[in-house]
């Protein structure tokens, strides 16, 4: 059985003061959650959020991680630095980074390997654009991204990995994939994992849906057999909304 995992991706939102306010509100609300709860927050807020959530059921993540240990990589933040401030997860290969900051399947792979090397759990994002979906290329794209992301990652390491299927056309647009569309593509991603690692490993990997997931649509998305969680953007910025997604069955 895969334990569901609901993660917030704050993106470039919340100063430290704003982050503290939100986390103080959220902590008592989600304390009895049955799923894993993660907040992926801007680098500058990680230490403060980690401190506030220390003895709680909320884990903290970064929104990216460097692919090298240390050195001349201006503007990058290493896995060791993230661990030091209390992060245990890192989002890798979000479509915003692929589209605006030159992230490729190869850099996603390098960052994933680096996260695993330092014991950070990667949340690896894959997903097609509207043009790719309309061109019938969804499976081809998520297969390429999945195989690319996990090149040289072992089956044992895959137990630490979370995948987020985020159709680019559903992110921040209010357009959600239908429950069946999301489940179908996630099941396909699992079949790609099965061909890489075998059925047992594939069945163990948690795959989230992301893209306009909110209090109104989370229950039916989460009821799908292959959807193991959500990566939540906009709805993670309000404690009440994020709490409702965490309690998706209520
Ligand atoms: P929204 O929930 O705002 O659509 O963002 C989804 C996302 O990109 C999470 O990583």
- pLDDT tens digit string along 34-47? 999 999 999 999 99
**Cβ 94 vs Cβ 9: under 8 Å:** yes
- pLDDT tens digit string along 131-155? 999 999 999 999 999 999 999 999 9
Residue 170 CA, closest ligand 1 atom number: 4
Mean pLDDT throughout 218-226?
98
For the chain, the straight-line distance linking the first and the last C-alpha, in angstroms and rounded, comes to 21
Beta bridge partners of 223: none
- Cα dist from 139 to 136, 158, 169, 190, 235, whole Å: 8, 21, 15, 12, 27
Distance 223 CA to ligand 1 centre (A): 19
Mean pLDDT of the chain: 97
| Structural tokens at position 6 | 């609901």
Distance 209 CA to ligand 1 centre (A): 10
- pLDDT tens digit string along 48-107? 999 999 999 999 999 999 999 999 999 999 999 999 999 999 999 999 999 999 999 999
Mean pLDDT throughout 220-246?
98
Q: What is the share, in percent, of the chain residues with pLDDT greater than 90?
A: 97
CA gyration radius, the chain:
17
Q: Is the pLDDT of residue 1 over 90?
A: no
């Amino acid at each position: 059985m895969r334990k569901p995992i609901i993660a917030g991706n704050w993106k470039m939102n919340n100063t430290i003061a704003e982050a503290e306010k939100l986390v103080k509100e959220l902590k008592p609300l989600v304390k009895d959650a049955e799923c894993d709860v993660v907040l992926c927050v801007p680098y500058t807020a990680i230490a403060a959020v980690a401190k506030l959530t220390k003895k709680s059921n909320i884990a903290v993540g970064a929104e990216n991680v460097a692919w090298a240990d240390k050195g001349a990589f201006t503007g990058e933040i290493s896995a060791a630095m993230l661990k030091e401030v209390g992060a245990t997860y890192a989002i890798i290969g979000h479509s915003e980074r692929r589209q605006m900051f030159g992230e490729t399947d190869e850099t996603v792979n390098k960052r994933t390997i680096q996260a695993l090397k330092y014991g950070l759990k990667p949340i690896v994002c894959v997903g097609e654009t509207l043009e790719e979906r309309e061109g019938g290329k969804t499976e081809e794209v998520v297969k390429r991204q999945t195989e690319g992301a996990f090149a040289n990652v072992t089956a044992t390491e895959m137990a630490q990995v979370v995948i987020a299927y985020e159709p680019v056309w559903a992110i921040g647009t209010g357009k959600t994939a239908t429950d069946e569309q999301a489940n179908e593509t996630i099941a396909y991603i699992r079949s790609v994992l099965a061909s890489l690692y075998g059925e047992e490993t594939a069945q163990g990997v948690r795959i989230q849906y992301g893209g306009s997931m909110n209090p109104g649509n989370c229950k039916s998305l989460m009821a799908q057999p292959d959807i193991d969680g959500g990566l939540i953007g906009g709805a993670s910025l309000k404690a009440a909304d994020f709490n409702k997604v965490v309690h998706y069955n209520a």
